[in-house]
Amino acid sequence: MSPKKKRSREYRRPRFGPGSPARSMSFKQVVAQGIAAWERDDFEAAYEHFRSVLEEHPNFADVRNKAGLCLAMMGDVEGALEQFDYALSLNEAYAEAHLNRAIVLNEMGRFEEAKEAFKRASELDTRDSGTFPSDAGNRLAISHAKTGDLYLVADRPGDAAREYEAALRIRPRFADIRTKLAEAYIQLGRLEEARDELESILETRPEFTGARIRLGVALHRLGDDEGAAAHWRRCIEEDPEDMRARAYLAAIERGEGVDA
């Protein structure tokens, strides 16, 4: 997968229960800790953090991709492939997931499938940005996005927004990054801009629950509780176990505000 050393294939996937430390933190904090563990090559710890997020928020394509990378580094190529496939089921235009999937397929000896996956990743790269084709563009965009994530965790949404905007200038079709930009805009009070970003995502990806949840928050803060409730009810219809939508809907029914 990369020059970093892989772990043994004997690795056993961790399980998380109600007492897991990750449960007491926000998902942004858990993702940030996972990224930090990845950067220090502690792939098992990184995977534990990403998986704990996915237990509560299974439709985060970016976290799925990160979990797949961890599994690939630990030698679980089948598990990695499952994660990349899941990420692509959420966002077929996710160029990085196509690229990572291609690398894993190549390692598995599934060369024709790998060739097609590489081709798809390349097509998306060229379509998204003629200035930064191929993997270089992905890495630049993701680098900006990671910096934005750290700024967001550090409660500096203005700096985070600038990093996400830089990432999207390179890869404008990366919906996960656009969703993070909208979240930064919500924290900055730039609610109309957040609404516009999220609506643009949902036009092409109506199944993107994370974007729909945040659109409800933006509409609520703009004073449109009816519109917010409609989006959260749709989230519940599509995933009855989505506790965020249920909690937000209950809050506005009690006349309370909601956090992003």
pLDDT over 50 (residue 87)? yes
Q: Which amino acid is at 124?
A: L
The CATH code for residues 191-260 is: 1.25.40.10
Position of tokens 């996400």?
164
Compare 131 and 67 and report the one with higher pLDDT.
67
Cα distances (Å, whole numbers) of residue 37 to 33, 42, 85 = 6, 5, 23
Q: Do domains 26-128 and 191-260 have the same CATH topology?
A: yes
Q: What was the pLDDT predicted at 48?
A: 94
Tens digits of residue pLDDT in 52-63: 999 988 999 989
Neighbours of 241 (CB within 10 A): 9
How far apart are the C-alpha atoms of 159 and 238, rounded to whole Å? 34
What is the second-level CATH architecture of the domain 26-128? Answer: Alpha Horseshoe (1.25)
Q: How confident is the model at residue 200 (pLDDT cuts 50, 70, 90)?
A: very high
pLDDT over 80 (residue 179)? yes
Tens digits of residue pLDDT in 207-229: 888 899 999 999 999 999 999 99
pLDDT over 80 (residue 199)? yes
Compare 241 and 134 and report the one with higher pLDDT.
241
| Six token digits for residue 244 | 């965020």
Q: What was the pLDDT predicted at 208?
A: 83
The domain locations on the chain are 26-128, 135-188, 191-260
Residue 137 makes CB contacts below 8 A (sequence gap 6+) with 125, 128, 129, 131, 170, 171
Q: What was the pLDDT predicted at 119?
A: 82
Mean pLDDT of 154-161: 95
Q: How confident is the model at residue 127 (pLDDT cuts 50, 70, 90)?
A: low
Q: What percent of the chain has pLDDT over 90?
A: 46
Short-list 257, 233, 258, CA closest to 245: 233
Q: How confident is the model at residue 259 (pLDDT cuts 50, 70, 90)?
A: low
At residue 64's C-alpha, the angle toward residues 242 and 207, to 5°, is 45
Tens digits of residue pLDDT in 18-65: 444 444 467 778 888 888 788 778 899 999 999 999 998 899 998 999
Mean pLDDT of 58-73: 93
Half-sphere exposure at residue 18, Cβ-oriented, CA atoms within 13 angstroms = 0
Position of tokens 């294939």?
9
Q: What is the DSSP string of 149-168?
A: HHHHHTT-HHHHHHHHHHHH
Q: What is the mean pLDDT of the chain?
A: 83
Give pTM, 2 decimals. Answer: 0.57
